[in-house]
Chains A and B, each alone.
Chain A
Amino acid sequence: MSAADIIAALAAVVPGAEYQALESADSDVTPVILVPVEHLMATARALQATPGLEFHAFSDVTAVDFLPHREPRFDVVYHLVSPHRRARVRLKVRVARDQAVPSVTPVWAGAGWMEREVFDLFGIVFEGHGDLRRLMMPDDWEGHPLRKDYPVQLRKDAATYMPLQVTAEEFRANLERDRTVRPRPKEGV
């Protein structure tokens, strides 16, 4: 299924969206389609649910930073697979710095951690993601390391302190619960 076929199938389901087929070295295996960010959610739902498309499996989401050369600077890249049709498609969404992208987790729940990774390393915010925390870097990290304007050879002291995972109250509550639930050994056995 070529990019033109997929765009023709989508055009009937997503009215008003202007798609563009992009060239790439592997576009005969994986068609590449440029999607406007405002139509991303409708496109995602259509790709998953439309008979004949049925891209049920979410493979990956990543991003590319074209900082000095292009504005808007980011490409957010989605890889989708239709396992039973043995077909793949790659979607690209162009976003600027501080521009949010809708999260595709309502369509493919497996996108959650991958969107967290893109948020962590590129600083792209996914709106509607239920739990958009950092994935790779420590929770208190400043900046997004895979952006082209990030100082890679950063000089700063290593943190040696790890905050407790539970509060003192939660720890005591867990302890008390274990004590009450666990049956006491019988005497004289």
Chain B
Amino acid sequence: MGLETEFEIPVLTTTVESVVQWARKSAIWPVTFGLACCAIEMMAMASSRYDISRFGAEVFRGSPRQSDLMIIAGRLSRKMAPSLRRIYDQMPEPKWVISMGACASCGGVFDNYAIVQGSDQVVPIDVYIPGCPPRPESIIYAIVQLQKKISASKMDQTPKVRIA
């Protein structure tokens, strides 16, 4: 990126890639998808006190077709796993996933037959958040980390490795 001054008006030059990735990271639209108590903290993150719109990620979409971020907020039961996978598949590329809290990341306290021991068995995860449940600041930090990851990644990246 550079400032060209030999023309009548100053011209800023950059690459298409950095502009596209800047646009993508500045408007991350999460899908409205809460599984358990973590979703309460996720809603708090979107409310005025923590105000995730400061980072351009406040537009929770009711349809996976309009979303590019899935926050897995809570424990993922085995019965829910196919539905979660279907919602992920319905989201258009490029898309990212945040695994929120201990249960989504590794099963947490629910070490039993009913809960998937880590939602990375079902979808590829970009950012893991520790905590039970994580505070809204933790989720904001995760979104900022995801923004850094997006700006550092290539524009025409091939879709992530599909599991199962």
Contact = CB atoms under 8 A, between A and B. Distances in A.
Interface of A: 136-138, 145, 150-155, 157-162
7 contacts: A137-B79, A152-B112, A153-B113, A157-B164, A158-B78, A160-B82, A161-B85
Interface in B136-164: 163-164
Interface residues of B, number: 18
A160 B79 contact: no
Nearest to B113: A154
Interface string B69-96: 0000000101101110110000000000
B112 A153 contact: yes
B83 A162 contact: yes
B121 interface: yes
A153 B109 CA distance: 12
A122 to B, nearest CB: 14
B92 to A, nearest CB: 19
Interface of B: 76, 78-79, 81-83, 85-86, 111-114, 116-117, 121-122, 163-164
Contacts of A161: 82, 85, 164
Contacts of A151: 113
A75 to B, nearest CB: 23
Instruction: Pick the 3 closest A-B CB pairs, nearest first.
Output: A162-B82, A154-B113, A160-B85
Given A137-B79, A138-B78, A138-B79, A160 B112 contact: no
Contact of A157 (B76, B83, B121): B121
A160 B113 contact: no
A127 to B, nearest CB: 27
A180 B130 CA distance: 54
Contacts of B82: 159-162
B121 A145 contact: no
B113 A150 contact: yes
B108 to A, nearest CB: 13
B111 to A, nearest CB: 5
Given A151-B113, A162-B85, 4 more contacts: A137-B114, A138-B79, A153-B111, A157-B164
Contacts of A153: 111-113
Contacts of A150: 113
Contacts of A137: 79, 114
A152 B113 contact: yes
B121 A158 contact: yes
A142 to B, nearest CB: 10
A157 B85 CA distance: 14
Contacts of A157: 121, 164
A160 B78 contact: no
A25 to B, nearest CB: 29
B82, B111, B113: most-surrounded residue (chain A CB, <10 A): B113
